[in-house]
Amino acid sequence: MQIEQYKIDEFNQRHAQEHTRRYEFAASSLANVDDVLQRLVDFQIGIPSWALGTGGTRFGRFPGGGEPRSLEEKIEDVGLLHALNQSSGSISLHIPWDIPSDYKAIKALAAQHGLRFDAVNSNTFQDQADQSLSYKFGSMQHVDKAVRRQAVEHNIEVIRHGMELGSDALTVWLSDGSSFPGQLSFRKAFENTLESLQEVYAALPDDWKVFVEYKAFEPNFYSMTVGDWGQSLLLANKLGPKAYTLVDLGHHLPNANIEQIVSLLLMEGKLGGFHFNDSKYGDDDLTTGSIKPYQLFLIFSSLIDGMDARSMDHATSLAWMIDASHNVKDPLEDLLQSVEAIMIAYTQALLVDQQALREAQQENDVARCQEILQEAYRTDVRPVVAEARLRAGAALRPLQLFREVKVRENLVKERGRKTVATGL
Ligand code: RM4
Ligand code: MN
Ligand code: MN
């Protein structure tokens, strides 16, 4: 299915009057609205190929129908999102779930939808049917060198696929760790992991980055070998200038101060990318901004402060990606909501008067500091985000148009009710 531009324009026409009224009001209190709008148009979020179908929990899975059956259909789905919001301009692939059979054709299809390939992900947290050695007791940390070698070779193969598609980063998330005290030597596990990552690092093309993603728990519940940002940063520093830490919002222990973490990673020049999602308890992989929107805003505020301090381009210096799992919502609707929440938080963070904040900090004016942040957070920027979409040729209200043109119904008709996407 494709959404023709005239349908988007027609929809926008119908909502133009109301939008203009709301936008003019919002814009009247913004000093630099054109700059904000341009930043929003430029800001693109990577969509995870593994989250285009229904996820599930260990108790069950409730497929919704019309899920993408192939990499081509996954690209088509991201193309639909991008047509609706013009903010989902890339797709992040997971190997071996998404092995391309014809690179040229896949690249052409992505280009046709205005998409590029974001970081490619390796998978050594599952055993594949044709795999000779098991990852039951870890991959890069494994006590057996042959298992580690297999994990390294897989990562090098992932880099090769990525190179063919024009990606320029590899994300490594390891489920390695232990579930019981005494099961492994923390030091040995870390050293083995470092050695394996060094072998992968040696195979990285010059203009590539490797992102080391950390996670505090699950599937191992006593220790995770890359369990927090300290361990990831340690690895990234030892690996070299092409290695960075990747922050997944759901991978922290409860109440972790993520805005402080990103601030220090940026200070060290070692923040590489992001996996957006939201959670109440653990790695819940819920819609971004659905549970803790204020935290999301604070993270963005910290990011902007840190990026500006190093003169980093907001849109291109970090890899902005979503990592989610959809159990009760339509995956595409959920992703539209996540992108919207990210754009809102980014816009609000752009409104923070950083200069005034620094001054208030210098004077230890705690109340004023809070006022400055909350002034921005409590601004309704939705019309500004909508205006940026309008200027980019997208829909004023992506989710509403998604329903009006019956995207899901059409996908079910085309693909069937009982399709299962590879991925989570
Ligand atoms: C993990 C982690 C990784 C993702 C897998 C599927 O929890 O977040 O980023 O690749 O899930
Ligand atoms: Mn992740
Ligand atoms: Mn995760």
Q: At how many degrees (to 10) do helices 293-309 and 354-362 cross?
A: 90
Kindly indicate the confidence band of residue 63, based on its pLDDT and cuts at 50, 70 and 90: confident
Neighbours of ion ligand 3 (CB under 5 A): 283
Closest-CA residue, ligand 1 atom 6, reads 424
Which residue ranges have their beta carbon within 6 Å of ligand 1?
50, 121, 173, 213, 248, 275, 283, 323, 424
pLDDT at 420: 80
> Per residue in 117-145, pLDDT tens?
999 999 999 999 999 999 999 999 999 99
Ligand 1 atom showing the smallest separation from residue 423 Cα? 6
pLDDT at 145: 98
Give the predicted TM-score (pTM) of the model: 0.98
CA dist., res. 213 & res. 265, Å (int): 13
Structure tokens at 16: 């133009």
Amino acid at 111: A
Considering the chain, what is the average pLDDT of its residues? 97
Ligand 1 atom showing the smallest separation from residue 275 Cα? 9
423 has pLDDT over 80: no
pLDDT at 64: 87
Percent of the chain with pLDDT over 90: 96
Q: Is 170 helix (H, G, I), strand (E, B) or coil?
A: strand
424 has pLDDT over 80: no
Amino acid at 168: D
> Per residue in 265-284, pLDDT tens?
999 999 999 999 999 999 99
Residue of 285, 293, 297 whose CA lies nearest to 334: 285
Q: Print burial letters for 82-110: b (CB count within 10 Å at least 16), e (below 16).
A: bbbbbbbbbbbbbbbbbebeeeeebbebb
Kindly indicate the confidence band of residue 19, based on its pLDDT and cuts at 50, 70 and 90: very high
> Per residue in 73-97, pLDDT tens?
999 999 999 999 999 999 999 999 9
Q: Lay out the sheet containing 319-322: strands in order across.
A: 116-117, 90-92, 46-48, 319-322, 271-276, 243-248, 209-213, 169-173, 120-121
Kindly indicate the confidence band of residue 354, based on its pLDDT and cuts at 50, 70 and 90: very high
215 has pLDDT over 90: yes
Kindly indicate the confidence band of residue 410, based on its pLDDT and cuts at 50, 70 and 90: very high
Ligand 1 atom showing the smallest separation from residue 283 Cα? 7
pLDDT at 421: 80
Rg (CA), the chain: 22
CA dist., res. 82 & res. 88, Å (int): 5
Closest-CA residue, ligand 1 atom 3, reads 173
Measured in Å, residue 1 CA sits from the centre of ligand 2 at 29
Structure tokens at 345: 């938080």
- Are 254 and 217 a contacting pair, CB within 8 Å? no
